[in-house]
């Protein structure tokens, strides 16, 4: 334990680009007369822990939560690993060129960022991340897992043209999920839109979707219907995590409310599920009214990634 703690301390100090030489001006190592903090030169390594080269790995174990408020760097070829049961809290910026493996809990504070060409690997669940900051580094999602006919990626329920829900799924709830309902109510409370901002369509059972899809096919033809209506079992509305807000017309995007929804719904845990520039991937036309609840942290990650859910979960 001591060794890993020492490594962590060394890593924290040196990864922050701040060697002991910088802290102690009288040190022999402060040959650099610049007052600015400079990265430690590996060649200057004298064995002192705090002046070790910056290419250290960091392991956060279950019995040692770690809080890093300094800016740190994880170089290419190095890794930060949060083991199961461990917690890493980042309060500063992480310049990630290596790999960050999240098996435990990762807390990204409000002003913290994770950026760079490295990869943040979500090993088990997106619920292991509490992101209040900003992640622009690539996020590697776990493989899809099927439980009772329902597909989850890192704990995120996935339903789309490829992945479906069983016929009976959701019938026991028969409504949108309480967390989505609460998110919509909070949006309404925080804005001046009042009751116009509402779920015009929420939960939809398999049977209801079947009826609507058949209706659209009869009135509009299958080829058209499939671009805006889901096959039964393939509607996100059946999950209870989706809602159509206010009205399902394209010009909703140009309204004050539609613009606000697009810009802010992630703060309430939702995403615009079928963006205008992702039609080829989602298989659905732009639906500025259709929101999907993911929870605040995951919604922020998806929002900041600029990806649609299929791309974010790497199932496109
Ligand atoms: Zn919808």
CATH number for the domain harbouring residue 296: 3.30.1380.10
**What is the 59 CA–ligand 1 centroid distance (Å)?**
43
Owner of token pair 């015009």:
200
pLDDT at 8 over 80: no
Report the chain's mean pLDDT, rounded to a whole number.
Answer: 85
Domain count, the chain: 2
**What is the 114 CA–ligand 1 centroid distance (Å)?**
32
Query: Residue 140 belongs to what H/E stretch?
Result: strand 138-140
Tokens, residue 115: 């950026």
Angstrom CA distances, 94 to 23, 87, 247, 280, 306, stand at 21, 16, 41, 33, 20
DSSP state of 230: P
pLDDT at 37 over 70: no
The pLDDT of residue 274 is: 97
> Are residue 193 and residue 258 in the same domain, yes or no?
yes
> Are residue 154 and residue 283 in the same domain, yes or no?
yes
The domain in which residue 63 lies consists of 2-140
Last residue of a domain, one of 106, 140, 174: 140
Helix then strand then coil, % of the chain, to nearest 5: 35, 25, 40
Last residue of a domain, one of 140, 158, 189: 140
Strands 270-274 and 119-122: unpaired
The mean per-residue pLDDT over the stretch 216-225 comes to: 94
> Are residue 293 and residue 156 in the same domain, yes or no?
yes
> Are residue 159 and residue 299 in the same domain, yes or no?
yes
> Are residue 195 and residue 290 in the same domain, yes or no?
yes
The pLDDT of residue 287 is: 96
**What is the 220 CA–ligand 1 centroid distance (Å)?**
18
Angstrom CA distances, 79 to 72, 108, 119, stand at 12, 17, 10
Measured distance CA(313)–CA(52) in Å, rounded: 38
Last residue of a domain, one of 115, 140, 165: 140
Higher pLDDT, 85 or 43: 85
Contact 97, 118 (CB under 8 A): yes
> Are residue 134 and residue 161 in the same domain, yes or no?
no
pLDDT at 7 over 80: no
**What is the 285 CA–ligand 1 centroid distance (Å)?**
11
Q: What is the set of active-site residues?
A: 287
Higher pLDDT, 193 or 133: 133
**What is the 283 CA–ligand 1 centroid distance (Å)?**
13
Contact 294, 240 (CB under 8 A): no
List the alpha helices (DSSP H) in the chain: 2-15, 20-23, 178-190, 206-220, 222-228, 256-264, 279-282, 296-305, 309-312
Higher pLDDT, 80 or 63: 80
Higher pLDDT, 308 or 199: 308
Contact 288, 262 (CB under 8 A): yes
> Are residue 119 and residue 193 in the same domain, yes or no?
no
Q: Which pLDDT band holds residue 316 (cuts at 50, 70, 90)? A: confident
The pLDDT of residue 139 is: 98
By percentage, how much of the chain surpasses pLDDT 90?
Answer: 75
Measured distance CA(218)–CA(220) in Å, rounded: 6
> Are residue 91 and residue 117 in the same domain, yes or no?
yes
> Are residue 45 and residue 172 in the same domain, yes or no?
no
Angstrom CA distances, 216 to 25, 233, 244, 252, stand at 76, 16, 18, 21
| Beta pairing partners, 140 | 121
**What is the 290 CA–ligand 1 centroid distance (Å)?**
4
Q: Which pLDDT band holds residue 195 (cuts at 50, 70, 90)? A: low
pTM, rounded to two decimals: 0.82
The pLDDT of residue 292 is: 98
**What is the 273 CA–ligand 1 centroid distance (Å)?**
9
Q: Which of 228, 229, 302, 235 is nearest to 265 (CA)?
A: 302
> Are residue 149 and residue 291 in the same domain, yes or no?
yes
> Are residue 131 and residue 150 in the same domain, yes or no?
no
**What is the 262 CA–ligand 1 centroid distance (Å)?**
15
Q: What is the arrangement of strands in the sheet containing 242-245, beginning at the earlier edge strand? A: 199-201, 242-245, 287-293, 270-274
């Amino acid at each position: 334990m001591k060794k890993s703690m020492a490594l962590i301390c060394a890593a924290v100090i040196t990864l922050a680009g701040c060697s002991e030489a910088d802290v102690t001006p009288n040190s022999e190592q402060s040959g650099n007369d610049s007052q600015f903090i400079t990265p430690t030169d590996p060649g200057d390594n004298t064995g002192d822990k705090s002046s070790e080269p910056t290419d250290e790995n960091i392991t956060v174990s279950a019995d040692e939560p770690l809080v890093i408020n300094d800016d740190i760097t994880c170089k290419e070829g190095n890794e930060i690993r949060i083991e199961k049961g461990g917690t890493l809290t980042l309060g500063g910026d992480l310049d990630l060129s290596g790999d960050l493996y999240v098996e435990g809990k990762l807390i990204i504070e409000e002003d913290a960022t994770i950026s760079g060409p490295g990869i943040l690997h979500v090993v088990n669940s997106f619920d292991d991340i509490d992101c209040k900051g900003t992640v622009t580094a690539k996020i590697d999602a776990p493989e899809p897992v099927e439980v009772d006919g329902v597909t989850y990626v890192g704990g995120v329920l996935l339903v789309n043209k490829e992945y479906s829900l069983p016929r009976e799924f959701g019938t026991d709830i028969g409504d949108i999920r309480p967390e989505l309902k609460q998110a919509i109510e909070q949006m309404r409370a925080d804005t001046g839109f009042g009751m116009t901002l509402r779920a015009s369509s929420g939960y939809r059972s398999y049977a209801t979707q079947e009826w609507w899809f058949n209706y659209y096919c009869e009135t509009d033809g299958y080829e058209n219907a499939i671009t805006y209506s889901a096959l039964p079992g393939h509607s996100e509305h059946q999950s209870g995590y989706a809602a159509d807000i206010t009205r399902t017309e394209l010009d909703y995007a140009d309204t004050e409310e539609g613009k606000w929804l697009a810009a802010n719904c992630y703060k309430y845990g939702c995403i615009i599920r079928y963006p205008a520039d992702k039609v080829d991937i989602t298989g659905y036309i732009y639906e500025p009214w259709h929101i999907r609840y993911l929870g605040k942290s995951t919604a922020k990650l998806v929002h900041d990634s600029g990806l649609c859910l299929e791309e974010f979960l790497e199932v496109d």
